[in-house]
Structure 1
Amino acid sequence: MTDAATSDGTRIAYQTSGAGTPLLMLSGQASSHRWWTRVRAEFDAYRRVVTVDYRGTGGSDAPQGPYSTPGFAEDAIAVLDDLGIERADVYGTSMGGRVAQWIAVKHPHRVRRLVLGCTSPGGTHAVERSAAVRKALATPDPAALRRSLLDLMYTPEWLARNPEPYWTLGDPTMPRHARHQHLLASNAHDAWDALPLIAAPTLVLHGDQDELNPTANAPLLADRIPDARLHLIAGARHAYFEERSDVAGPAVREFLTATS
């Protein structure tokens, strides 16, 4: 693991593996690069994979804040700069998809192809999760919260076949203030007005049973981003990239390696 320094002096840890065209993979809220642990090898097979520990997670520094999705985007650019990567494919899921939107908007020359997974445009145009889901996520009981997150991420059938650990439940090493800042950053995201500026070829992926980040956000993104493609994955919840890696992995590979 190596680290890059940002403009404000924060140290951002990053990891590289594989070989080929660079692929920057961005994880969900309050998660480190371990978010990708179960599927990383699929991408290593044909890409030079770069992952990032957001500020506040993993091996990165955890300044007090404020944090924001545009700020996380600049941290990711600092990592690409440290590696000497001028242009990369970018794949962001959940909050990572929000971050990826800003990379594509603010640094269009750095993005070859863009994949946005289980994410949303944010702001007033986004489709919010239901009151029942919000209530479940607000519980003060850690065990109940964990059960709710697992149910939102995966189907019971997948959980029965796949034992611990579940890396998508967040980074347990995060300090409390950083976890709160991640929540604020994700909630404050609003790229609606900027989405039509995205010039990179874009694939929007989403599980058709996602209630954590409602599936209805996927067509909003696909309609708002010029010429974006939409792929809804049947039977998948929020962590579609793990549970339906048999579908999601090939779909991403086909898109990233397309010649047109």
Structure 2
Amino acid sequence: MSTPVPGPAGRWAIAHDGTRIGFDVVGDGEPLLLLAGQANSRSWWGPVRPDLAGFRTIAVDHAGTGAGDDVVDGEWSTRRFARDAVAVLDALGVGRAHLYGTSMGGRVAQWIAADHPGRVGALVLGCTSAGGAGTVPADRGVLRTLAGPPGPARCELVRLMVGPGWEGPLPVLGDDTMSTRARAGHRRASARHDAWDALPGVTAPVLVLHGDADEYTPVANGRLLAARIPAAQLVVLPGARHAYFLEQRERASAEVHRFLTEHPLAVC
């Protein structure tokens, strides 16, 4: 088992190839691993983290974001990110934890649940997709705009995340400190994700959360995911876009808290 070493605004775990993975820990209670979206650091969780009081939240910087390194061995994949997250649990001496993954973080969480079932308590998958045959892509016009000039692309990303009139913090627009290599690696990892065949074998209790106004990852993906995983619960949030956990924070956080509380790690 590796020992966490000090890092900027948190600590580092060391992945199998020597890549440093940044993370921090807040609170007390059952451990809850938080996995952010593509090209985002753990700051993604800033506004929501106070809602998860009662859990020991462990927020991870995916490789190439935040305090972490670009990957050393050149492998950029959601399955690799899952191994990195398990390295964080190992560094902390946490044998088993709840998982909450959103967007690409939800894809990473799927692999943790499939490849390391003994490490997972309850699993929450938000605004994400299964990949492969279980993917319903965004509209081509949306994808063209996101791949276009930076100004319009950023405006489109804001529109996809939250509705008009949003006035709160919006820490979900990407990590500006990332290298070009890391950004390309994250895009590749997310686009190539395919856990479809593995999902029927997931044994953890699962809650799927999705906004029905999500154009970035259409809600059909959430329905397919919930149908693919045995006994998964599905909660659709009317009117919510991709960042449902910010737009409808009160209800979304309450659903997560309820679900995790109903599935404690230790059963007497």
TM class, shorter-length: over 0.9
Same amino acid, percent of matched pairs: 52
Letter in 2 for 1:240: Y
Give how far 1:41 is off: 1.0
Relative to structure 1, the CA distance from residue 94 to residue 259 in structure 2 (aligned partners, 3 Å threshold; closer, same or farther) is: closer
Partner of 1:256: 260
Give how far 1:135 is off: 1.3
Residue deviations 1:1-35, cap 9 Å, x none? Answer: 01111111111111100110000010000000000
Q: Tell me if 1:13 matches 2:17.
A: no
Cα distance between partner residues in 1 of 2:15 and 2:158: 34
Aligned to 2:34, what secondary structure does the other structure show?
A: strand
Cα distance between partner residues in 1 of 2:220 and 2:114: 22
Cα distance between partner residues in 2 of 1:194 and 1:223: 13
Give how far 1:66 is off: 2.4
Partner of 1:48: 56
Q: Tell me if 1:207 matches 2:216.
A: no
TM-score, length basis structure 2? 0.93
Give how far 1:107 is off: 0.3
Unmatched runs of 5 consecutive residues or more in structure 1: none
Cα distance between partner residues in 2 of 1:15 and 1:4: 10
Letter in 2 for 1:144: P
Given that 2:212 and 2:219 are in contact with CA atoms closer than 8 Å, whether structure 1 keeps it comes out as yes
Cα distance between partner residues in 1 of 2:38 and 2:104: 5
Give how far 1:138 is off: 1.3
Partner of 1:182: 186
Partner of 2:7: none
Residue deviations 1:165-213, cap 9 Å, x none? Answer: 5210000000000000000000000000000010000000001100001
Aligned to 1:62, what secondary structure does the other structure show?
A: coil
Please provide the CA RMSD for this pair.
Answer: 1.1
Unmatched runs of 5 consecutive residues or more in structure 2: 1-9
Cα distance between partner residues in 2 of 1:188 and 1:142: 23
Relative to structure 1, the CA distance from residue 127 to residue 31 in structure 2 (aligned partners, 3 Å threshold; closer, same or farther) is: same
Cα distance between partner residues in 1 of 2:110 and 2:191: 15
Cα distance between partner residues in 2 of 1:252 and 1:166: 20
Give how far 1:126 is off: 0.7
Aligned to 2:57, what secondary structure does the other structure show?
A: strand
Cα distance between partner residues in 1 of 2:263 and 2:145: 44
Relative to structure 1, the CA distance from residue 14 to residue 136 in structure 2 (aligned partners, 3 Å threshold; closer, same or farther) is: same
Cα distance between partner residues in 2 of 1:257 and 1:63: 35
Q: Specify which structure has the higher proportion of helix.
A: 1
Aligned to 1:25, what secondary structure does the other structure show?
A: strand
User: How many equivalent pairs are there?
Assistant: 254
Cα distance between partner residues in 2 of 1:123 and 1:137: 21
Q: Tell me if 1:88 matches 2:97.
A: yes
Q: Tell me if 1:22 matches 2:38.
A: no
Aligned runs of 1:16-165 on 2, under 5 Å?
Answer: 16-43=25-52, 45-63=53-71, 65-139=74-148, 141-157=149-165, 159=166, 161-162=167-168, 165=169
Give how far 1:235 is off: 1.2
Aligned to 1:257, what secondary structure does the other structure show?
A: helix
Partner of 2:228: 224
Give how far 1:259 is off: 5.1
Letter in 2 for 1:94: S
Residue deviations 1:85-143, cap 9 Å, x none? Answer: 0000000000000000000000000000000000000113310111111111111x211
Cα distance between partner residues in 2 of 1:114 and 1:94: 14
Aligned to 1:193, what secondary structure does the other structure show?
A: coil
